[in-house]
Chain A
Amino acid sequence: MIVADLSSRELHSCLTRSGIRLRVGPIVAQIRSPFRRVESGIALHYSAHEVVAPDTFADFLVAVDPPASVRRWLGPQALFRFGHDAPFHPLPAAQAFPLLEWGLNWCVTAHCHQFLILHAAVVERGGRAALLPAPPGSGKSTLCAALVAHGWRLLSDELALIDLDSRRLVPFPRPISLKNQSIDAIARFSPGASMSEVVRDTQKGSVAHLQPPAGSVHASQTTALPAWIVAPTFRAGQRTALAPLPQSVTFMRLVDCAFNYHIHGRRGFDALGDLVAGSRCLDFSYGGNLDDAVRMFDQLEALQ
């Protein structure tokens, strides 16, 4: 069963009672929340995700609840809960769904150490994956959204999960988080895309989420072989260009983008070394022309 098979009443009932258990790539998350914003966010963005049986093991038990403090009377707030813990301060209730997404990111980066985890988007075509490592503000999610709209399979827009044994990239398809100008840019580039309403005044500015394609979600148990490491840099107005990036420089950039490299020690070093050695490493500059950007990515296969 997938989320889209549930009626809105059934989804509401699951979310407000024991919670709904969703398979998201390699993990199962139990999510509970009384917020309508969370409910509508899950109905839209997780519509193609599998709902697993209540007795299936859940890696994470999370909730987005109103906080218990008197502060809630001054302005509605949402608090992310991880089991019995509340690892973050509450946020305005309007941010309940983004808070769930940020909380799930934290769950994975803080706990899923069976993977080497990089701050990177991953897309795939023809069985070969492009890894897009970048610090925030590099245009990574915008580029990822444009590529996915152009037919690349989404593995992740935020967290690259590297299997330490197979060296393959493990899909973790979830809503693509767009911020500020990239929201309008993707709405123009892909007018048919299903996007949430814009949530303003978050710590990251205005945020909207883009629904992951159902095909990417259905293929979420199919890992991909890394073939390209493309480090994007967005600067308004600059020309779209791909240029070789030295492998040693790429390696150090991946170290900088890793969440848990330090935990894996030499095993992580070896995995990153294999990843870099087996991939074409490129620097990608773009200035907002997404048509040019996706055309250039279409040429990657010729470079391999």
Chain B
Amino acid sequence: MPSPRFPIPQGTLDMLILQILSLEPAHGYGIAQRLEQISRSVVQVNQGSLYPALHRLQQKGWLRAEWKQSETGREAKFYSLTHAGRRQLAVEKNSWARLSGAVKLIFEEGSR
């Protein structure tokens, strides 16, 4: 049975995380929920793969993390974007736009 939701393309998860965090700081579970909402019924994100990605981005210096009280009153690890992260997001958005534009062009060419 083909899945109604296709798996997230390689490499785009990082960009989505950066995009979500560019709005406001969030903890892992919050990001997972946001991803669910944004991509509901379109993209499938493995909950588990979120954490390695977060730690990788943090190690690259694009995210910073601190323990803060969450909305339930429990301490949670909140991630936020650093300056480098913001720059990186811009770069990725730009290259994504160019890539998808190019792909679209090719498809239109083919259908003509």
B is a partner of A: no
Residues of chain B whose beta carbon lies under 8 Å from any beta carbon of chain A: none
Residues of chain A whose beta carbon lies under 8 Å from any beta carbon of chain B: none
